[in-house]
């Protein structure tokens, strides 16, 4: 696949980032006997950048986190799984604020230096007592080597933790970037995915850090889909502790290197979300080339990536190109000539000039569709714009998970 | 449900329409031992109106039917199931034209007076020999009382035929309207549904007939969805034989009555398609009120109606209003205040001011969701525009049907 990552991204590795400490607790927000609460501490003087869901129905913690972020430098991130604190009205806003206040009181910072995050069931009141009970312990156990535990504690329907590290050699020294994400359903991020946190010990001023995060999110979290449903709680946060003493200035070669590391880590974490999509058995990149505009290319790619008929064909390992072509045709692109469209499955051309390629053999298509990961490439023959979207298949288990789990 | 139909639509009844004859044959296009070919004859002097898919990848028969319709008065409709003749290139265009020529030669009309329609598998060549073999028999057996057999012969993954009649008393006499439709998957019509045919013995000039069909299609076939996938072969045809001698003039009270009959018949046939949606166990009307514009209202309604998370919750009979509210929030409506949103399930208010209604009790929501048919009403509190969309749930059987059937 063309999204193959360079070796520098260490999958399933959570290297400590100096200046960033984490702790987890089994607070019992909803789950019994598993960790569901995470506190992340950023060293004084560190910087933070964040992107949030563009769903207009955003959860109380998203509202509170945005307010706090605008007011004061970030010191703590407080994340619970099991309850989204969404659709909970004024009580939800109070719960989000009060959970931050618990951290601020014990840690000796301002309440607006704490950002709250929640993921889980929508529409149920967030109880405060699990936070009260666990907070002293959480703060006392903060440590730099707890990324994997944190990645596990933020899971909901995820079947495995998602985390990685990148070490980047800059001109003034080496910096480390570690990140984690969670998400499996209600995935069609429109700004950021469900929840993702990354941290580096580089020193980066806030505006540059935000622009780096924005650039990294576009081809990663904003280019994946499981079911087309944008969550109410999406958030992605990038922290820079600066503790390494390695400063990165806008426009420098170092900034380009750090950007590459951040983007690659985000792409790994985003890809892991799709690979762990609810009920998913396949990971498919839909690439669209030759569009007039990027928005056209993305419209075609997402129409294919969301089509229940394409997704059930993926599940069945049936190279049913008619369903792909039908999705291209209904994507609403002005001036498209369906007779100029070419579709390939990895290296196998299946559709040429809007119809089945005369040289296509069914067994070649089936060989590609039988794989766990492959690419569907659509060439529109209209212009130069491209888009790439990651998606997964639609299986019995997607229905089972979502008919049984109240998210 | 508010789409309850007046008693005048006779469900599952196919009254003869004078001046319109039908015949069916087991031609073996794809299916063995079942009827799969339909010929419909319109009396000389009758008029026809049609709407077709707006999928840019439209099938050969759609292209040919549009050409023929523009050229000459319609005399015959030729419909096969089992093969969509889509994505078949020049060979497909030839097959569509030649099948019309077979009718024209035997019936003694021009080839452009025959419209071809196909539904079934995409991307396989349409064999002409089944048409050649069956045509003499088809033409010799044309009869006015074959609507039910025709409704069965055009089925693919449908589990039951869909047809109805309306008798309408106009000032100059009674006219009859009978219609049939097919469709179960790849249903999100954008002009018309998969295939639907209606005929009346009223006398209506072509421009009026077309405007009546356009008006009837908007709230019926263009307001339903099963899986969001617009077909390549959608078509809806309305014939008026004029044989009753009852003439209908534009702007008359009779035109209003006939329009009501056509619209109600289309709504019945569209509703039957959703009720027979692939794997469907529930029929749900999503009504959106209080939008600024109809396009906003439709965007919200279709976002809910397409959401895999909402559809699996419907299957599970779980009144998971958080998923509905999340879909409202991601519909991309400018200026929406999520705190002004009210959501009701039939007569049960579940969300008020963007959060759970304090008076809501879970057992009330479950009572509504446990029914086979109900309404989800979303009030946006922004303006006066409304939209209504019919949808169904997403079940294990949807995955099963589409993982096993190559459409």
Q: How far is A69 from chain B (nearest CA, A)?
A: 22
pLDDT at A395 over 90: no
> Are residues B224 and B270 in contact, defined by beta-carbon separation less than 8 angstroms?
yes
pLDDT at B126 over 50: yes
Given CB atoms, is A182 within the 8 Å cutoff of chain B?
Answer: no
Residue with tokens 């290296």: A347
| For A351, nearest residue in chain B (alpha carbons) | B87
The CA distance from A378 to A290, in Å, is: 8
Q: How far is B327 from chain A (nearest CA, A)?
A: 7
**pLDDT at residue B6, rounded to an integer:** 46
What mean pLDDT is reported for chain B?
Answer: 87
| B276 confidence band (pLDDT: 50, 70, 90) | confident
**pLDDT at residue B22, rounded to an integer:** 95
pLDDT at B2 over 50: no
- Report helix, strand or coil for A196: strand
**pLDDT at residue A67, rounded to an integer:** 95
Half-sphere exposure of B143 (CA within 13 A, CB side): 12
**pLDDT at residue B288, rounded to an integer:** 95
pLDDT at A188 over 60: no
Checking ipTM against 0.85, whether it exceeds it is no
| A360 vs A217: which has the higher pLDDT | A360
Q: Which CATH architecture has domain A283-404?
A: Roll (3.10)
Q: Is B230's CB within 8 Å of A326's CB?
A: yes
Q: Is B322's CB within 8 Å of A231's CB?
A: no
Strand positions, DSSP E, B59-218: 76-83, 114-121, 162-170, 173-182, 195-200, 203-204
**pLDDT at residue B38, rounded to an integer:** 95
**pLDDT at residue B159, rounded to an integer:** 85
Q: Is B87's CB within 8 Å of A230's CB?
A: no
Torsion region of B82: left, alpha or beta (phi above 0 gives left; psi -120 to 50 gives alpha)? left
| A7 confidence band (pLDDT: 50, 70, 90) | very low
| A254 confidence band (pLDDT: 50, 70, 90) | confident
> Which residue from B57, B322, B407 is facing A325, i.e. has the nearest CB?
B57
The CA distance from B56 to A333, in Å, is: 9
Q: Is B406's CB within 8 Å of A232's CB?
A: no
Instruction: Name the nearest CA neighbour of A264 among A165, A190, A173, A195.
Output: A165
| A193 confidence band (pLDDT: 50, 70, 90) | very low
**pLDDT at residue A185, rounded to an integer:** 67
**Interface test mutation site (partner A, options B318, B399, B400, B405, max chain A beta carbons within 10 A):** B399
| B128 confidence band (pLDDT: 50, 70, 90) | very high
**pLDDT at residue A87, rounded to an integer:** 82
The CA distance from B10 to B24, in Å, is: 23
Catalytic residue from among B3, B119, B157, B193: B193
Tens digits of residue pLDDT in B52-91:
887 778 889 999 999 999 999 999 999 999 898 988 888 9
pLDDT at B321 over 90: no
| B194 confidence band (pLDDT: 50, 70, 90) | low
**pLDDT at residue A2, rounded to an integer:** 35
pLDDT at A311 over 80: yes
**pLDDT at residue A338, rounded to an integer:** 82
User: Tokens at residue B186, please?
Assistant: 């790849």
- Span A1-5, average pLDDT: 37
**pLDDT at residue A3, rounded to an integer:** 38
Given CB atoms, is B51 within the 8 Å cutoff of chain A?
Answer: no
Given CB atoms, is B86 within the 8 Å cutoff of chain A?
Answer: yes
| B237 confidence band (pLDDT: 50, 70, 90) | confident
Given CB atoms, is B313 within the 8 Å cutoff of chain A?
Answer: yes
| B264 vs B37: which has the higher pLDDT | B37
Tens digits of residue pLDDT in A15-52:
999 999 999 999 999 888 899 999 999 999 999 988 88
**Interface test mutation site (partner A, options B119, B125, B329, B331, max chain A beta carbons within 10 A):** B329
Least confident residue range of A152-161, A230-239, B389-398:
A230-239
**Interface test mutation site (partner B, options A278, A279, A329, A391, max chain B beta carbons within 10 A):** A329
- Span A197-217, average pLDDT: 86
**pLDDT at residue A228, rounded to an integer:** 65
pLDDT at A1 over 70: no
Highest mean pLDDT among A330-344, B133-147, B165-179: B133-147
Q: Is A263 known to be catalytic?
A: no
Q: Percent of chain A scored above 70 by pLDDT? A: 93
Packing angle, helices A294-306 and A308-315, rounded to 10: 60
How many contacts, defined by CB atoms under 8 Å, are there between A and B? 206
| B5 vs A370: which has the higher pLDDT | A370
Tens digits of residue pLDDT in B346-398:
999 999 987 889 899 989 999 999 999 999 999 999 999 999 888 998 888 88
- Span B105-120, average pLDDT: 95
pLDDT at B190 over 60: no
**pLDDT at residue B349, rounded to an integer:** 95
User: Tokens at residue B293, please?
Assistant: 């514009």
**pLDDT at residue A194, rounded to an integer:** 56
**pLDDT at residue B4, rounded to an integer:** 38
How many Cβ atoms are within 10 Å of A71's Cβ, its own excluded?
Answer: 11
Q: Percent of chain A scored above 90 by pLDDT? A: 42
Catalytic residue from among A3, A47, A176, A193: A193
Strand positions, DSSP E, A73-171: 76-83, 114-121, 162-170
Cα angle B53, B57, B60; round to 5? 80
Q: Which residues of chain A does CATH 3.10.20.340 include?
A: 283-404
**pLDDT at residue A300, rounded to an integer:** 94
| For A84, nearest residue in chain B (alpha carbons) | B322
Can you list the alpha helix ranges (DSSP code H) found in A42-88?
60-71
Residue with tokens 């618990």: A102
Q: How far is A42 from chain B (nearest CA, A)?
A: 32
- Span A391-406, average pLDDT: 80
User: Tokens at residue B204, please?
Assistant: 């209506």
Given CB atoms, is A236 within the 8 Å cutoff of chain B?
Answer: no
Looking at the DSSP bridge assignments, the partners of residue A50 are: A237
> Are residues A210 and A49 in contact, defined by beta-carbon separation less than 8 angstroms?
yes
Q: What is the DSSP string of B210-259?
A: HHHHHHHHTTTGGGB-SSS---SS-EEEEEE--TT--EE-TTSHHHHHHH
Given CB atoms, is A335 within the 8 Å cutoff of chain B?
Answer: no
Q: Which fold has domain B9-275?
A: 3.60.70
Looking at the DSSP bridge assignments, the partners of residue A76 are: A41, A114
Q: Which residues of chain B does CATH 3.60.70.12 include?
A: 9-275
E strand or H helix at B350: strand B348-352
């Amino acid at each position: 696949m063309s999204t193959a990552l360079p070796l520098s991204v260490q999958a399933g590795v959570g290297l400590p980032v100096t200046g960033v400490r984490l702790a987890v607790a089994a607070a019992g927000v909803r789950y019994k006997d598993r960790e569901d609460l995470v506190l992340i501490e950023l060293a004084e003087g560190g910087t933070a950048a964040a992107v949030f869901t563009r769903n207009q129905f955003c959860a109380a913690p998203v509202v509170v986190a945005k307010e706090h972020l605008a007011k004061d430098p970030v010191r703590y991130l407080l994340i619970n799984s099991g309850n989204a604190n969404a659709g909970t009205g004024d009580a939800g806003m109070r719960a989000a604020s009060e959970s931050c206040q618990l951290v601020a009181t014990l840690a000796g910072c301002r309440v607006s230096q704490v950002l709250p995050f929640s993921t889980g069931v929508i529409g149920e009141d967030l109880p405060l007592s699990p936070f009260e009970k666990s907070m002293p312990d959480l703060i006392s156990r903060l440590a730099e080597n707890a990324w994997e535990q944190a990645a596990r504690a933020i899971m909901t329907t995820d079947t495995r933790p998602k985390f990685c590290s990148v070490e980047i050699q800059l001109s003034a020294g080496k910096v480390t970037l570690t990140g984690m994400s969670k998400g499996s359903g209600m995935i069609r991020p429109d700004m950021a995915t469900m929840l993702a946190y990354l941290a580096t010990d580089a020193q980066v001023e806030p505006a540059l850090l935000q622009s780096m995060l924005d650039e990294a999110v576009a081809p990663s979290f904003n280019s994946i889909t499981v079911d087309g449903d944008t969550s109410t709680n999406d958030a992605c946060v990038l922290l820079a502790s600066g503790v390494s003493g390695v400063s990165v200035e806008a426009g420098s070669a170092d900034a380009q290197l750090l950007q590459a590391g951040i983007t690659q880590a985000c792409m790994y974490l985003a890809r892991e979300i799709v690979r762990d999509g609810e009920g998913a058995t396949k990971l498919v990149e839909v690439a669209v080339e030759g569009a007039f505009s990027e928005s056209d290319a993305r419209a075609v790619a997402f129409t294919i990536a969301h089509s229940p008929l394409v997704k059930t064909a993926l599940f069945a390992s049936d190279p049913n190109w008619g369903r792909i072509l039908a999705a291209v045709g209904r994507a609403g692109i002005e001036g498209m000539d369906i007779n100029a469209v070419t579709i390939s499955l990895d290296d196998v051309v299946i559709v040429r000039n809007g119809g089945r390629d005369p040289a296509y053999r069914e067994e070649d298509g089936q060989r590609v569709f039988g794989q766990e990961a492959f690419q569907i490439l659509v060439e529109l023959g209209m212009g130069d714009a491209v888009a790439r979207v990651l998606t997964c298949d639609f299986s019995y288990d997607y229905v089972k998970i979502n008919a049984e789990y109240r998210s």
